[in-house]
Structure 1
Amino acid sequence: MNDTLNTVAVEKKFVRPKPFFELWQKGEGIPVYDLFYVEDMMKVELGHWDRFGCNGAFVNLADPFLTSAVIIEIAPGGKTKPVRHMFETWCFIVEGEGETIIEQDGSPTNTVSWGKRALFGPPLNTTYQHVNLDRKRPARILMVTNAPLTMNLYHNERYVFENKFIFDDRYKGENSFFNGETEYLGGRVTRINLIPDTLQFRLINWKDRGFGAKSFHMSMSGHTMACHLSEFEVGTYKKCHRHGPGAHVIILAGQGYSLLWKEGDPPTRVDWKENSLFAPPEWWFHQHFNTGPEPARYLALRRGGSPEHPIRLGMSAEGGGPDQIEYEQEDPGIYDTYAAQLKKNGVEIRQPRPTYVGKD
């Protein structure tokens, strides 16, 4: 008996299936892009998505097993189909003006008004419908979700999209829910459910991350997914750091480049501008450089780590070592290359050359 089983085990190979989310994406009938970065979200080609009733495309950046992105475009004067789902999503308005209708059984209907660079998150499993109020131009929305985690966990489409459970501990249809008011929670953290313009949101200094750096972390819509805004001044660059997977970096303003590398490997350079999008791979070092004449600002939409709803996800056993490299410990070539780039662009460098420690 045992010999027979052993023979069968040798002759029959186990073929591991693809993740449920990956199979679901391919069955949705829209383009699926597996990319390292997106140079310009406005130029991503889309296809008709029946589920939303508009054009769309999936964008899978590095390590899309916890979070992933989808870009949708609503025709002038058009609207999406109403949808609901058991995964969280951020909605960032790449371009356009409109509103999103939020409905939940037993609660009043709410309407979120939005314009370019607005950010909000429909509360979990509410029914929402995006409406383009501009009758001449399309509206384009980036949605960053934790659908990969949710769908792979339950691997049941009906449970995810037809579930009627109401998360009334997160949302009760309050009229004030999306009024854009902030509640300061301390440190660099605030609670807010709608940011009308992420470029205008006021940040506070955060020198620990670099010369001229500012940031703020937001707790929004009861999400476990996290988000923060970061800005750095003209002629400056941020300290090199690394973290877990799934942080989608959206460039709101400015121009520059980022270096990304796995420890021990040469760096990959990503040149960015407004509407660029990228996600540093898990535990890869990355460092951001402002090479333009204006402050550079980005929005990061992340897998977890919400200030009020902490959850730890996505770090492999390969983690370890420092999560940040101080200026004094970095390769001197980092500063030299940056200074040369600024000189080429006609921009003055504003941070002093580091006094290096342990460098010949």
Structure 2
Amino acid sequence: MDLAKAAAYSDKTPYDLWQEAEGIPIVRGHCVEDLVSIPVASWKRTGILGSFINLVGSGRSCGAYVCEIPPGSQSQPQRYLFEQLIYVLKGRGATTVWNEGRKKQTFEWQEGSLFSPPLNAWHQHFNVQGDDTARYVALTDAPPMIFHSRTDLTAKTGIAGREERSRPTGLGNPTSFLASETFS
């Protein structure tokens, strides 16, 4: 979907259009009382189950989604050009993180764990339980990122192999650092 063209003739934001194109439920409201029981459906791009959450008043600044990994299953490898903060609601599992040509690193998580995959790094989530689902909620800055770039910011539009990011020095000239410096 060309988000720029679609958004030009719509009252919806590029993020709204992207969510609709993903084909999973979108839960809207002022709050979500129970993230463990909201409906999820097959999310083709991720290979697991998911649902978007759009809270009134936050739709243009932050996004959220819930994912459920069936027993003994895993997500498809993903990478994004937006930040994610993941909180594990239920279950136990592991996540593998890597950059192109670099060693993969794996860490385990369980209910109550909080983590954030590095920006634009490949990552894959695994449910290590053979008898129960694992579920997590992810908070993202995808809405403003997709709004400004007018792309979906997933691996197909990501900056392949680019790990360098700039950061301000306070002197008006940005310097660069490798994202792998923070996760090596």
Normalising by the smaller structure, the TM-score range is 0.7 to 0.9
Report the Cα offset of residue 16 of structure 1. 5.0
In 2, Cα distance between equivalents of 1:49 and 1:76: 16
Q: What is residue 91 of structure 1 aligned with on the other side?
A: 86
Q: What is residue 38 of structure 1 aligned with on the other side?
A: 32
1:161 is the counterpart of 2:155: yes
Give the number of the structure with larger relative contact order, counting CA–CA contacts within 8 Å between residues 6 or more apart: 2
Q: What is residue 149 of structure 1 aligned with on the other side?
A: 144
Please state whether the residue corresponding to 1:66 is helix, strand or coil.
coil
Amino acid across the alignment from 2:42: H
1:131 is the counterpart of 2:123: no
Task: Judge conservation of contact 1:105–1:166 (CA < 8 Å) in 2.
Answer: no
In 2, Cα distance between equivalents of 1:93 and 1:79: 15
Query: What count of residue pairs does the alignment treat as equivalent?
Result: 160
Please state whether the residue corresponding to 2:80 is helix, strand or coil.
coil
Report the Cα offset of residue 64 of structure 1. 1.1
In 1, Cα distance between equivalents of 2:81 and 2:154: 5
Report the Cα offset of residue 52 of structure 1. 0.7
Report the Cα offset of residue 160 of structure 1. 4.1
Deviations, residues 126-150 of structure 1 (Å, cap 9, x unaligned): 0100000000000001011001011
Task: Judge conservation of contact 2:96–2:107 (CA < 8 Å) in 1.
Answer: yes
Report the Cα offset of residue 24 of structure 1. 0.6
Please state whether the residue corresponding to 2:117 is helix, strand or coil.
coil
Superposed counterparts of 1:252-291, under 5 Å: none
Please state whether the residue corresponding to 1:37 is helix, strand or coil.
coil
In 2, Cα distance between equivalents of 1:54 and 1:80: 6
Task: Judge conservation of contact 1:72–1:140 (CA < 8 Å) in 2.
Answer: yes
Change (3 A) 1:160 1:107: same
Change (3 A) 1:46 1:16: closer
In 2, Cα distance between equivalents of 1:65 and 1:171: 29
1:81 is the counterpart of 2:76: yes
Which one of 9, 12, 27 corresponds to residue 18 of structure 1? 12
Task: Judge conservation of contact 2:90–2:134 (CA < 8 Å) in 1.
Answer: yes
1:55 is the counterpart of 2:52: no
Please state whether the residue corresponding to 1:23 is helix, strand or coil.
helix
**Which blocks of at least 5 consecutive residues in structure 1 are unaligned?**
1-13, 175-360
Give RMSD over aligned pairs.
1.7
Q: What is residue 180 of structure 2 aligned with on the other side?
A: 171
Moved over 6 A (4+): none
Q: What is residue 113 of structure 1 aligned with on the other side?
A: 108
Please state whether the residue corresponding to 2:27 is helix, strand or coil.
strand
Deviations, residues 19-59 of structure 1 (Å, cap 9, x unaligned): 11100100101001111111111110111100110110000
Task: Judge conservation of contact 1:151–1:160 (CA < 8 Å) in 2.
Answer: no
Percent identity for Structure 1 against Structure 2:
29
1:100 is the counterpart of 2:109: no
TM-score, with structure 2 as normaliser: 0.82
Amino acid across the alignment from 1:77: G
Task: Judge conservation of contact 1:59–1:70 (CA < 8 Å) in 2.
Answer: yes
Report the Cα offset of residue 171 of structure 1. 2.5
TM-score, with structure 1 as normaliser: 0.43
**Which blocks of at least 5 consecutive residues in structure 2 are unaligned?**
1-7, 165-176
Report the Cα offset of residue 15 of structure 1. 6.0
